[in-house]
Structure 1
Amino acid sequence: MNRTAVDTEGSWFEPEDLARLRRKLPIPYVDVVPVRTDVDGSILQVGLLLRASGEGRIVRAIVSGRVLVHESLREAVIRHVEKDLGPMAMPRVPVSPVPFTVAEYFPTPGQSLFTDERQHAISLAYIVPVDGECAPQEDALDLAWFDVQELLGSEVLGEMAGGHDVIVRRALSHAGMI
């Protein structure tokens, strides 16, 4: 079915329904590492959000969120990039996106490299070049762009929670940057 807009009818749950489902089912997610590239497609910079975590800490994060019912993975990636980076981010998502890795988040720390205290989530991770103007949106406090070497040689990845640092390292490795 070819749609131009996401059919979100019935895709949102009441908070108590979502909490119940999160206790019983793995939830599908997308993780997005936003990047700036040169004309050849090599990654120059990685964009990281600054957010307040559920534990009240300030952490760096990648773009991440649930896949809605009746929503393709491509649509979910675009929606979350626009939700977190703004409507003028202009993400370049392939027509048929293939994730560079899959992350399985567990609510129990130590069960995997990825932790989400709310739920068991299966996340498909994508590297997405953005060409437009980006600004932090919604609950993001800031958006900073880091040169790849600066990012790898700093403590910034240590400011990430839940395994997002692993996603960023895997993205850079997948792209041949490390």
Structure 2
Amino acid sequence: MASDDITPWLPPEDLDRVRRQVPMLYVDIVPVRVDAQGQVQQVGLLLRVTGDKLTRALVSGRVLYHETLRQALTRHLEKDLGALCLPRIPLSPQPFTVGEYFPTPGAGFHDPRQHAVSLAYVIPVDGDCQPQQDTLEVGWFTPNEALLPEVQAELVDGHGTLLRQALGHVGRLQ
């Protein structure tokens, strides 16, 4: 197959059919601000309108056909935080955990559209982060603030669990 034959997007009807039959690969990203010693000082959470309520979410999205993980991580960070977010993607991106989303509520992480497997990362960002597309705000929280019950309650579909796992992974879960 020539490289010209590769298209990264499926038409909506084909994507819906595939989502009903095949687990999809995603990335979940916890954007963080770190100090000079590399300690996480702040966690970035997206504020969005979901249905009729405000929710918080991690940066998340699908890995496209023929896209490297580095490219997917950068694309989703820039899509949600802006082109000037300046992410520091590791040379060899290794997820801190793997999340498995199911269309059935209560079966772990939840995505009503599909069964998806997500590689989860903690990625430092150094630049100017501005809300993009359907994001109303990028909120920056200290690790302790991010763990407050009212913040955790705003995180949907398992993102609260992923955030706690991320903070544990970087030694900031208290």
Normalised by the shorter chain, which TM-score bucket? over 0.9
**Alignment correspondent of 2:142:** 147
One-letter amino acid of the counterpart of residue 22, structure 1: R
Where in structure 2 are the equivalents of 1:1-178 lying within 5 Å? 9-53=6-50, 55-112=51-108, 114-178=109-173
> Using the alignment, how far apart are the partners of 1:106 and 1:98 within structure 2?
23
TM-score (normalised: structure 2) = 0.94
Q: TM (normalized to structure 1)?
A: 0.92
State the Cα deviation string for residues 118-162 of structure 1 (Å, max 9, x = none).
000000000000000000101111111001122223511110110
**In the alignment, is the contact (CA less than 8 A) between 1:8 and 1:70 conserved in 2?**
no
Gaps of 5+ in 1: 1-6
Q: Secondary structure at the match of 2:32?
A: strand
Identity %: 56
SS of the counterpart of 1:108? coil
List structure 1 segments (4+ residues) > 3 angstroms apart after TM superposition. none
Structure 1 counterpart SS, 2:44: strand
Q: Aligned letter for 2:15?
A: L
| C-alpha contact 1:8 1:69 (8 A) present in aligned 2 | no
Cα distance in 1, alignment partners of residues 145 and 114 from structure 2: 33
Given residue 35 of structure 2, which amino acid in structure 1 is its aligned partner?
A: D
Q: SS state of the match for residue 157, structure 1?
A: helix
Are the equivalent residues in 2 in contact too, given 1:32–1:64 (CA < 8 A)?
Answer: yes
Judge conservation of contact 1:8–1:68 (CA < 8 Å) in 2.
no
**Please, what is the CA RMSD of the aligned residues?**
1.4
- Cα distance, 1:62 vs structure 2: 0.5
- Structure 2 gaps of 5+ residues are none
How many residues align structurally?
Answer: 170
Q: State the one-letter code of the partner of 1:30.
A: V
What whole-Å deviation, never above 9, does each CA across 1:78-134 have from its counterpart, x for those lacking one? Answer: 00000000000000011110000000000001122x000000000000000000000
